[in-house]
Amino acid sequence: MQWIPEYRDDVPRVERFNLLARSTHWIHTVTFLLCLFTGLALFLRADWLAVIFGGFRGAGLVHRIAAVVMTVTILTAMVIGVKGVIAWLKDLLRFGMNDIGFLLKFPAEFLGLKVKIPPQTRFNGGEKMNSMVTPTMVFLLMISGWIIWWPSIWWPGLVRASYWIHDIAMILATIMVSMHAYLGSFHPGSGESFWGMWKGTVRADWAQHHHTIWYDETYGEKAQAEAE
């Protein structure tokens, strides 16, 4: 059984994510998962999870270290890569009929049925959803997390609210992340997506097929002509 498509460099490829986007993505992945499993030890009151990190104190320490790395990475990347962030937000705001079409037909594709999907921009309807929900939840996690860490400097009501905000944001983010991780790798319909985030490039024919609008605007004949 094939898990993900093989990486081929004998065919034309186009860039999808630059180095900054990719490193931020993967540092966030690692720190998120560290925070998740150390946090779940407390949320589920699971001794067996805490043991992996050397007990609850160890888990708390890992949680905090990962939290600092995550916060610093995200904030730095947003400053250095402000152009990319703006381009990304602009693409999210291009939410149109094609995205609604995507979302309506997606459940069938998710299960593996063949469907005709309307042309997509750089991020398809599902990716747009993920791009809106996950970062929002991660920001809520960071804000509530820092409040929980240093409770005495805040208004007590805010600390109490932070406890359930941290939990709900963790739950929603984890739902999105687990679906996203699967769709970005093992889901047969997603094809080259994984290589876009791992190596930075995707096959040109795949890009043209899956993200027609983005491909035409960025690498199509008109765009090429303009660039020259």
Footprint on this chain of another protein (rule: CB under 8 A) = 1-2, 5-6, 42-45, 56-57, 60, 109-117, 148, 151-152, 156-157, 159-161, 163-164, 167-168, 171-172, 174-175, 178-179, 182, 186-192, 203, 205-206, 209-210
Of 62, 34, 56, 26, which is closest to residue 44 (Cα–Cα)?
56
Among 4, 27, 40, 133, binds ligand HEM (CB under 6 A): 40
Q: Which residues contact 209 (CB under 8 A, 6 or more apart)?
A: none
Pairing of strands 13-15, 201-203: antiparallel
Report how far residue 163's alpha carbon sits from residue 76's, in angstroms, rounded to the nearest whole number: 26
Out of 60, 96, 189, 200, name the contact with ligand HEM by CB under 6 A. 60
3-class secondary-structure state, position 7: coil
Q: How many CB atoms lie within 10 A of CB 23?
A: 13
70 makes contact, choosing from ligand HEM, another protein, none, with CB < 5 to 8 Å by partner type, with: ligand HEM
Residue number, 86 or 175, with CB nearest to another protein: 175
Which one of 173, 202, 207, 213 is in contact with ligand HEM (CB under 6 A)? 173
- Residue 15 Cα distances to 11, 12, 199, 209, angstroms: 13, 10, 9, 15
Applying CB under 6 A, which of residues 29, 133, 161, 167 lies at the interface with ligand HEM? Answer: 167
Q: Using CB under 6 A as the criterion, what x/- string covers residues 62-81 for binding ligand HEM?
A: -x---x--xx----------
By the rule CB under 6 A, 142 interacts with ligand HEM:
yes
> Measured between alpha carbons, how far is 191 from 203 in angstroms, rounded to an integer?
10
Q: How far apart are CA 141 and CA 144, in angstroms?
A: 5
Residue 63: contacted member of another protein, ligand HEM, none (CB under 5 to 8 Å, by partner type): ligand HEM
Contact 134, 98 (CB under 8 A): no
Q: Which is nearer to ligand HEM, 60 or 118 (CB)?
A: 60
Q: Which is nearer to ligand HEM, 14 or 35 (CB)?
A: 35
Q: Residue type at 207?
A: A
* Backbone CA torsion sign across 103, 105, 111, 113: negative
Name the residues that contact ligand HEM, by CB under 6 A: 32, 35-36, 39-40, 42-43, 60, 63, 67, 70-71, 141-142, 145-146, 148-149, 166-167, 170, 173-174
